[in-house]
Structure 1
Amino acid sequence: MQDKIYEKSPHFVQNWIVSIYNLLAYKKRYSGKYKYFLEDYLQKRSLSLDELKELQIQKYKELINHAKNHSEYYRNIFSKIESPEDLANIKQLPIIDKETLRNNLSGIYTVKKSEGILSKTGGTTGKSLEVLYSPDDVQERFALLDNFRNEFGYKLGKKTAWFSGKNLLGKTDLKKNRFWKTDHIHKVRYYSTFHIHGKYLKYYIENLITYQPEYMVGFPSTMYEIAKYGMAHDIDFPANIIKAIFPTAETITDDIRDVLEGYFKTNLYNQYASSEGAPFIFECKNKKLHMDLKSGVFEVLNENNEPSKKGRLVVTSFTTHGTPLIRYDIGDQIELADDNDTCDCGNNNPLVKEVLGRISDYIYSEEIGKINLGNISNCLKGVKGIVKFQIQQDVIDSLLVLIEKDDQIYSPEYEKVFLKNLRDRVGSSITIEVKHVAEIPVEKSGKYRLIKNNIKEEINV
């Protein structure tokens, strides 16, 4: 019923519906203990590493005891382990993957659906997952996130351009080349991530320049396409408008960072978390990534479940009391910084060299092995006229490359450069099929995927 009212309402009414919806959502996020958490984390911002580790031990014990007392699933697991609340014994606990979590949710939940706050993962690499947060969980997570963004001047109410998976547009919007809705109360303009096509992108840029947001938040792939279009068509973006870019939900490659910072003439500050409630990794003013020990436990493991500098990420999150995430294999991988790497920003949390992203975001070649997202994204170096591309792998020895091109700039010579770059990365033996398409669609979540690897279960390396 509400959706039908929204769809039939004129643009200015839709803006106020969005504003009121946010007013209700923000009441959940910023009420209760939010201010307490925000002030508490602000005071703890300069804790020493030893103090952070001691706080981590305390919060781990509290989470385990909560799960033991309120979750049937974890109560059964912990009954077989001596002192499970001791962080030193964490390796005795089983690692839980997404499918295990999904299949046991009813026994894992510690709150009823009517009492919790529901969050759904996007399901871009599989089936969607529903987790429940307690109100305190939500307020603490937003306090952690706001504490990070506040370091760069951001506060709710400052003019912001937001690019996320909200599909808010109607047919009239498309006819009028209007790809946004505005929350007038909180000064947030939501730009569609479902209409990132060459024929529309100039309207995004024109509106961003007119709107003059201080901050940009959301899917980096969307902002990246807008920036690339502006650069390719010599549309200069004014300096000193955007104070910072805060990407969400997707992996940041060097190319994405360079393009966004170069075109919008500002700094990008990365952060890592997840819809399920993973603990946070924040980038500081020195452009270094820090694991936030106040938010959880991070384990980087190899294929034998042994600690490693580079490997898959297994997390225990202190802000998931509604659906406890304890030794949860989140499906991402990171690389830790060298032991001698330091940072003088004042944040003493351990350093991460790189967030490598989803384990499934790679191409596999029998000749080369796994080629990760960052290497694939660099195939556009020296190339013009290719608006975006996507590589699909459905069999071991073949790749399908979808290319969306700008006919005014594209030439076969540029495609040859692109294919050479790709061939240099995947080897000479794998078959590459190219298919030109009018548009590469985003996922249902509004995210764009550069790589769609559909054979990862067949790869045993």
Structure 2
Amino acid sequence: MSSLQEKIYEKSPHFIQNCIVSVFNILAYKKRYSKKYKQFLEYYKNNKTLSTEELKELQKQKYREFIIYTKNNSEYYNKIFENIEDSDDLTNIKKLPIITKEVLRNNLSSIYTIDKNKGVISKTGGTTGKSLEVVYTYDDVQERFAMLDNFRNNFGYRLGERTAWFSGKNLLTSTDIKKKRFWKTDYFYKVRYYSTFHIHGKYLKYYLEDLITFKPPYMVGFPSTMYEIAKYGIANNIDFPANIIKAIFPTAETITEDIRKVLESYFKTDLYNQYASSEGAPFIIECENKKLHLELQSGVFEVLDGNNQPSSAGRLVVTSFTTHGTPLIRYDIGDQIELDNQGTCSCGNNNPLVKEVLGRISDYIYSEEIGKINLGNISNALKGVKGIIKFQIQQDSLEHLLIFVEKDENVFKLKDEETFLKNLRDRVGGTIEIEIQYVEEIPVEKSGKFRLIKNNIKDKIEK
């Protein structure tokens, strides 16, 4: 929303705000579900039982088409490909350079294949705290949603089903908080958006009571938020009715065994996981047997060790076939996975198996005013901010947050600091002290992994 739209929204009554949410969804869904969406959905539905050999052949074909398109339309990649023989042959992918988030961020203007106003912009801070603004073609968006919906359709979901959604949408006003109303509803598509910014012990009963009243067959979004609600229900002996939730589809965070166990047992349903990213990573999806599968039709997955050699467990480098606007080719996504080399699954999906997705660790910071603020919300604090290369939040007390910031001196302005601080305040509340320290470099951990959040007071926080 623009600043004017935000003011209109904030001053509108609850019913009108719900209508505004519906209108925004209708406009967004036109981009996602028009033109080729149904064609893509039918395509992936018909390809569910392809053999491993057929899937690999399709992957090679899509790779070739994608590389040729990128070479012809991206100035950055055209220069890379001109010195590589048979660059469109998948067997030669190792000849191409690995692209880091920093390289992508610094070269976006020459990587883009279309003007921003001719595509769909996705702004993401990412869980590593690096600011990115990628552009999708309309076909990219529709194909990605077709893949996602094809996955969810396996478990009964259809567009328009009543859904409880827990995401980074900051839709509440002070009036909502006073009235203990922590959600907004799109009545057109039957989606209720529950705030993930107010997960505090004193508010959880209202979330749970409304979920029981709303009776959504499906729950989607940040698992850490659903996890807190479930733990509250368990701790207070509030039984969640059976046969309401048909499936839970988590997003943006790693699913631990404990999170899965708590969510499935409390909500009396099954959880089905999937992995992708806002900047366009190819899909990893979970089947009915609770096995994760690489979706070879969506891209190329390379698992590499510290020497950039193939490994069964290591960092994930991806090439995504649904990023024609901002091509991702050998992109170091910043996550780690472990492959499962035990053959194929009995579910009928013959894509390779993944033992575990090791990235996107569910970390959080804590505010006495707000409660736990999850990694998904914190990572979105860079939206609308230019010039911050990356940042890290360190919490050593309940009253204070220390923010380390690496900035680009040529881009970062005072207004960017103001936007960044406002975004943080929206998430952590107005009482906790925020201290920003600008540094030349934020070091990575011994494992080589960058941590956006370093919470050193978890032992002081009631579980």
Q: CA deviation at 1:58?
A: 0.5
CA distances 1:279-320 after superposition (whole Å, capped 9, x unpaired): 000000000000000000000000000000000000000000
User: What residue in structure 2 maps to residue 25 of structure 1?
Assistant: 28
Structure-1 separation of matches of 2:151 and 2:426: 25
Does 2:47 match 1:44?
yes
Q: Aligned AA for 1:50?
A: E
Q: CA deviation at 1:230?
A: 0.9
Alignment of 1:103-118 (within 5 A): 103-118=106-121
Q: Aligned AA for 1:224?
A: Y
Structure-2 separation of matches of 1:187 and 1:446: 26
Q: 5+ residue gaps in structure 2?
A: 365-370, 376-393, 400-422, 429-441, 450-463
Alpha carbons of structure 1 residues 276 and 390: separation in structure 2 relative to 1, 3 Å:
closer
Q: CA deviation at 1:116?
A: 1.1
Does 2:249 match 1:246?
yes
User: What residue in structure 1 maps to residue 174 of structure 2?
Assistant: 171
SS of corresponding position for 1:456: coil
User: What residue in structure 2 maps to residue 227 of structure 1?
Assistant: 230
* Aligned pair partner of 1:304 in 304, 307, 312: 307
SS of corresponding position for 1:234: coil
* Aligned pair partner of 2:204 in 201, 204, 216: 201
* Percent of paired sites with the same residue: 72
* Aligned pair partner of 2:191 in 169, 177, 188: 188
Structure-1 separation of matches of 2:221 and 2:373: 20
Structure-2 separation of matches of 1:41 and 1:124: 29
Quick check: 1:285–1:345 contact (8 Å CA) kept in 2?
A: yes
Structure-1 separation of matches of 2:147 and 2:353: 18
Structure-2 separation of matches of 1:323 and 1:389: 31
Does 2:255 match 1:255?
no
User: What residue in structure 2 maps to residue 283 of structure 1?
Assistant: 286
Structure-2 separation of matches of 1:388 and 1:457: 23
Structure-1 separation of matches of 2:257 and 2:39: 37
Structure-1 separation of matches of 2:372 and 2:283: 30
Structure-2 separation of matches of 1:217 and 1:77: 40
Structure-1 separation of matches of 2:280 and 2:95: 22
Alpha carbons of structure 1 residues 195 and 52: separation in structure 2 relative to 1, 3 Å:
same
CA distances 1:181-208 after superposition (whole Å, capped 9, x unpaired): 0000000000000000000000000000
Quick check: 2:282–2:318 contact (8 Å CA) kept in 1?
A: yes
User: What residue in structure 1 maps to residue 140 of structure 2?
Assistant: 137
Q: CA deviation at 1:233?
A: 1.0
Does 2:335 match 1:347?
no
Does 2:47 match 1:5?
no
Quick check: 1:124–1:443 contact (8 Å CA) kept in 2?
A: no
Structure-2 separation of matches of 1:43 and 1:62: 21
Structure-1 separation of matches of 2:142 and 2:90: 25
Q: CA deviation at 1:262?
A: 1.0
SS of corresponding position for 1:326: strand
User: What residue in structure 1 maps to residue 64 of structure 2?
Assistant: 61
Q: Aligned AA for 1:353?
A: K
Structure-2 separation of matches of 1:353 and 1:213: 30
Structure-2 separation of matches of 1:26 and 1:460: 39
Quick check: 2:18–2:185 contact (8 Å CA) kept in 1?
A: yes
User: What residue in structure 2 maps to residue 365 of structure 1?
Assistant: none
Q: Aligned AA for 1:65?
A: I
Q: CA deviation at 1:457?
A: 6.0
Structure-2 separation of matches of 1:445 and 1:315: 33
Alpha carbons of structure 1 residues 68 and 444: separation in structure 2 relative to 1, 3 Å:
farther
User: What residue in structure 1 maps to residue 81 of structure 2?
Assistant: 78
Alpha carbons of structure 1 residues 64 and 139: separation in structure 2 relative to 1, 3 Å:
same
SS of corresponding position for 2:296: coil
Alpha carbons of structure 1 residues 69 and 316: separation in structure 2 relative to 1, 3 Å:
same
Q: Aligned AA for 1:76?
A: K
Does 2:444 match 1:456?
yes
Alpha carbons of structure 1 residues 237 and 401: separation in structure 2 relative to 1, 3 Å:
farther
Q: 5+ residue gaps in structure 1?
A: 362-372, 378-386, 392-398, 405-441, 448-453
* Aligned pair partner of 1:324 in 324, 327, 347: 327
Quick check: 1:97–1:330 contact (8 Å CA) kept in 2?
A: yes
Quick check: 1:164–1:446 contact (8 Å CA) kept in 2?
A: no
CA distances 1:13-56 after superposition (whole Å, capped 9, x unpaired): 00011011101100110001101000011111110000000000
SS of corresponding position for 2:297: coil
Structure-1 separation of matches of 2:132 and 2:357: 22
Structure-2 separation of matches of 1:52 and 1:46: 9
Quick check: 2:199–2:373 contact (8 Å CA) kept in 1?
A: no
User: What residue in structure 2 maps to residue 334 of structure 1?
Assistant: 337
User: What residue in structure 1 maps to residue 218 of structure 2?
Assistant: 215
Does 2:163 match 1:160?
yes
Alpha carbons of structure 1 residues 279 and 8: separation in structure 2 relative to 1, 3 Å:
same
Structure-2 separation of matches of 1:279 and 1:123: 16
Quick check: 1:389–1:401 contact (8 Å CA) kept in 2?
A: no
Quick check: 2:196–2:373 contact (8 Å CA) kept in 1?
A: no
Q: Aligned AA for 1:260?
A: L
Quick check: 1:108–1:324 contact (8 Å CA) kept in 2?
A: yes
Structure-1 separation of matches of 2:358 and 2:291: 14
CA distances 1:218-241 after superposition (whole Å, capped 9, x unpaired): 000111111111111111111110
Q: CA deviation at 1:8?
A: 0.6
Q: Aligned AA for 2:50?
A: L
TM-score normalised over the length of structure 1: 0.80
Q: Aligned AA for 2:46?
A: Q
* Aligned pair partner of 2:359 in 357, 361, 381: 357
Structure-1 separation of matches of 2:186 and 2:315: 38
Q: Aligned AA for 1:73?
A: Y
